[in-house]
C-alpha cells in the first residue's frame, strides 16, 4: 500500500497564540536581557543556559552573535534575537515529524517516565486523529498505577473513543494484545497505547515494555508499530538520558514534548533533538484536549525569541 499521510492537523491558528504564551515563560526574560544589554554577552549566555539550551547550542548562538558584533557594534535586541533564531532553526532542521501510515492498523505506543503526560497526550492524540477522520482505539496498558484505568476511561468517555482496558495488576502486554485484536476486528486505523510511567533506570520495568513490543509484533509488521517518547519540557536536558534508555528497549521513532505552556526550560528541545535526531511530532501546551500542536520550527523559534 502506498504511504498515505494520514495526519495533517491544522492547528496553526491556535499554535501561534499558545506557543507565544509558552515562550514568554521561556524567553521573556532573555528578550528583555537582549534589549537592555545588547552587548552583554555574559547576560545573554546566562539567559540561554537558564532556558536550558545546553552548552553546545548556547555556544553556537554566542559565536554567531560575536561574529555579527564584529561588523556591527550597534546590535539591537531584535537583531540578536534574529541571530539566535537563525542558529536554532539550523539546529532543528529535520525535527518536524510527519506521521505517515504504511498500513492498517498503525499502533502508537506512548512511553516515558512518570507524570510526563502520557495519558493526557493519548487522549489528545486520539481526539485529534478521530477529528481528522481516522478511527482510533485506545488501549489502557497502564495496569500498574491504581487510578490509571479510571483516568483513561474518563478521557475515552469524554471523547467518545473506544477503549480496551483491564483490571489493575493485569499483564500490560496482554491488554495490548487484546486491544490490537479489537482494533483489527473493529477495523480501526490507529491503536494508541497508554503505558505506565517507568523510570528509565529500572531495567525490569523496561523489560515489560520489550515484552509488549514482542507481543504486538506477532500481529503486525514492525513498520506499523511506533513508539513515541513523551518528554516533559520541565525535565530539560535530563530527558536525553531517558530517551537513550527507552530507545534501547523500544526503538523510538518520535517524540512529543509536553507542558511547553508552563516551562522556563523550553530550550532543551534543541538539545534533545541534536542528541537523538528523532522527529518531534507534537507539543503539548495545556491540559485540555485541543492543547496539542504539530511541532513547527518556525512557530517555536519565533515564539522563543519574540520580544512580546
Residue appearing with cell numbers 515563560? 25
Choose which of 54, 97, 271, 284 interacts with ligand GTP (CB under 6 A): 284
Total chain residues near ligand GTP (CB under 6 A): 21
Choose which of 57, 119, 235, 249 interacts with ligand GTP (CB under 6 A): 119
287 lies in the site for ligand GTP, by CB under 6 A: yes
Choose which of 118, 188, 189, 200 interacts with ligand GTP (CB under 6 A): 118
- Three-state DSSP class for residue 96: strand
Find how far residue 261's CA is from the centre of its chain: 13
Backbone angles phi, psi at 111, to 5 degrees: -125, 160
Choose which of 38, 119, 121, 258 interacts with Mg ion (CB under 5 A): 119
**How many C-beta atoms surround the C-beta of residue 220 within 10 A?**
18
Cis check for the bond before 169: say yes or no (omega within 30 of 0). Answer: no
Choose which of 116, 180, 243, 252 interacts with ligand GTP (CB under 6 A): 116
Instruction: Select from 86, 122, 50, 88 the least CA-distant residue to 282.
Output: 122
In whole angstroms, how close is the CB of 155 to ligand GTP at the nearest point? 9
115 lies in the site for ligand GTP, by CB under 6 A: yes
In whole angstroms, how close is the CB of 154 to ligand GTP at the nearest point? 11
113 vs 283, beta carbon nearer Mg ion: 113
262 vs 279, beta carbon nearer ligand GTP: 262
- Using the rule CB under 6 A, give the single segment among 2-10, 117-125, 132-140, 243-251 that binds ligand GTP: 117-125
Q: How many alpha carbons fall within 13 Å on the CB side of residue 24? A: 7
End-to-end, the C-alpha distance of the chain in Å comes to 47
Instruction: Select from 172, 26, 190 the least CA-distant residue to 101.
Output: 190
Question: Is residue 43 within 8 Å of 22, Cβ to Cβ?
Answer: no
What is the pattern of x (binds ligand GTP, CB under 6 A) and - over residues 191-210? ------x-------------
Q: Cα(60)–Cα(44) distance, rounded to whole angstroms?
A: 12
Question: Is residue 39 within 8 Å of 137, Cβ to Cβ?
Answer: no
Question: Is residue 230 within 8 Å of 195, Cβ to Cβ?
Answer: no
270 grid coordinates: 534543541
In whole angstroms, how close is the CB of 281 to ligand GTP at the nearest point? 14
By beta carbon distance, the residue nearest Mg ion is 119
Map the footprint of ligand GTP across residues 232-271, applying CB under 6 A: 258-259, 261-262
- Using the rule CB under 6 A, give the single segment among 61-69, 108-116, 153-161, 167-175 that binds ligand GTP: 108-116
Residues at the site binding Mg ion, with contacts judged by CB under 5 A: 118-119
Residues at the site binding ligand GTP, with contacts judged by CB under 6 A: 112, 114-120, 142, 145, 148, 197, 258-259, 261-262, 284-287, 291
Amino acid at each position: 500500500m502506498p504511504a498515505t499521510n494520514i495526519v495533517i492537523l491544522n492547528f496553526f491558528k491556535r499554535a501561534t497564540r499558545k506557543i507565544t504564551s509558552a515562550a514568554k515563560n521561556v524567553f521573556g526574560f532573555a528578550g528583555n536581557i537582549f534589549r537592555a544589554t545588547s552587548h552583554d554577552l555574559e547576560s545573554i549566555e546566562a539567559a540561554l543556559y537558564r532556558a536550558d539550551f545546553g552548552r553546545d547550542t548556547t555556544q553556537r548562538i554566542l559565536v554567531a552573535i560575536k561574529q555579527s558584533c564584529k561588523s556591527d557594534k550597534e546590535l539591537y535586541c531584535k537583531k540578536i534575537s534574529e541571530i539566535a533564531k537563525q542558529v536554532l532553526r539550523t539546529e532543528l532542521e529535520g525535527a518536524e515529524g510527519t506521521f505517515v501510515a504504511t498500513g492498517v492498523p498503525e499502533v502508537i505506543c506512548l512511553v516515558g517516565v512518570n507524570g510526563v503526560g502520557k495519558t493526557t497526550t493519548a487522549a489528545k492524540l486520539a481526539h485529534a486523529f478521530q477529528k481528522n477522520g481516522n478511527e482510533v482505539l485506545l488501549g489502557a496498558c497502564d495496569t500498574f498505577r491504581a487510578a490509571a484505568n479510571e483516568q483513561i476511561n474518563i478521557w475515552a468517555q469524554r471523547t467518545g473513543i473506544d477503549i480496551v482496558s483491564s483490571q489493575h495488576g493485569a499483564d500490560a502486554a496482554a491488554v495490548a494484545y487484546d486491544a490490537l485484536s479489537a482494533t483489527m476486528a473493529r477495523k480501526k486505523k490507529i491503536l494508541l497505547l497508554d503505558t505506565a510511567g517507568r523510570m528509565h533506570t529500572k531495567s525490569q520495568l523496561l523489560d515489560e515494555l520489550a515484552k509488549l513490543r514482542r507481543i504486538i509484533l506477532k500481529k503486525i509488521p514492525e513498520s506499523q508499530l511506533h513508539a513515541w517518547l513523551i518528554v516533559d519540557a520541565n525535565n530539560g536536558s535530563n530527558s536525553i538520558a531517558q530517551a537513550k534508555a527507552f530507545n534501547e528497549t523500544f526503538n523510538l521513532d518520535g517524540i512529543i514534548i509536553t507542558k511547553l505552556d508552563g516551562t522556563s526550560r523550553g530550550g532543551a528541545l534543541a538539545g534533545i533533538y541534536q542528541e537523538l535526531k528523532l522527529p518531534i511530532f507534537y507539543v503539548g501546551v495545556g491540559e485540555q484536549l485541543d492543547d496539542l500542536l504539530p511541532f513547527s520550527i518556525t512557530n517555536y523559534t519565533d515564539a522563543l525569541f519574540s520580544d512580546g
